[in-house]
Amino acid sequence: MASSDLPSLPAPAPIARRKLSHEVFDRLVETIQSGRLAPDDQLPSERELMQRYGVGRPAIREAMQSLQRMGLIRIAHGERARVTLPTADAIVDQVSGAMVQMLGRMPGGLDELKDARLLFEVGLAQVAARRGTAESIQRLRTALEDCRRARGNQTRFVAADMAFHRQIAAMSGNTLIRALSQGMLDWMTRFRRDLVTARGAERLTLEEHARIADAIAAGDPEAAGAAMSDHLTRANQLYSVLMAEPARPARRPTPSDDPSSG
- Using alpha carbons, select from 213, 216, 212 the residue that is nearest to residue 232: 212
Tell me: do 69 and 166 sit in the same domain. no
Predicted local confidence at residue 250, as pLDDT: 38
User: 193 in a domain, yes or no?
Assistant: yes
Among the candidates 31, 60, 83, a domain finishes at 83
Domain identity same for 153 and 38: no
Q: Same domain for 127 and 167?
A: yes
Q: Is residue 259 part of a domain?
A: no
Q: Are residues 98 and 162 in the same domain?
A: yes
Is residue 13, in this structure, part of any structural domain at all?
A: no
Q: How far apart are CA 123 and CA 174, in angstroms?
A: 13
Q: Establish if 256 belongs to a structural domain.
A: no
Sign of CA dihedral 104, 108, 110, 115: negative
Which CATH number do you get for residue 222?
Answer: 1.20.120.530
Cα dist from 176 to 48, 87, 89, 169, 235, whole Å: 36, 9, 8, 10, 25
Across-strand partners of 258?
Answer: 200
Statement to judge: residues 101 and 78 lie in one domain? no
Is residue 72 located within the same domain as residue 174? Answer: no
| Blockwise average pLDDT, block size 10, the chain, 262 residues | 54 63 91 89 92 93 89 85 80 71 76 86 96 96 95 86 93 90 80 52 88 97 96 75 46 42 48
What whole-number distance in Å separates Cα of residue 170 and Cα of residue 155? 23
Query: Does the pTM of the predicted model rise above 0.85?
Result: no
71 and 174 together in one domain: no
Q: Rounded CA gap, 103 and 130, in Å?
A: 33
Task: Count how many domains the chain has.
Answer: 2
Same domain, 147 and 31: no
- Would residue 98 count as lying in a domain? yes
**Is 7 a domain residue?**
no
Q: Is residue 257 included in any domain, yes or no?
A: no
Together in a domain, 103 and 184:
yes
Domain holding 76, by residue range, is 20-83
**∠ at Cα 249 (247, 255), nearest 5°?**
110
Residue 72 shares a structural domain with residue 162: no
Check which CATH number belongs to the domain holding 63 and give it. 1.10.10.10
Which residue, 63, 83, 103, sits at the end of a domain?
A: 83
Distance CA 49, CA 72 (A): 17
68 in the same domain as 136: no
Residues ≥6 apart with Cβ < 8 Å to 130: 219, 221
Residue 196 domain-assigned?
yes
Assess whether 120 and 101 both reside in one domain. Answer: yes
Q: Supply the pLDDT for residue 69.
A: 82
* Of the residues 64, 83, 102, the one at which a domain ends: 83
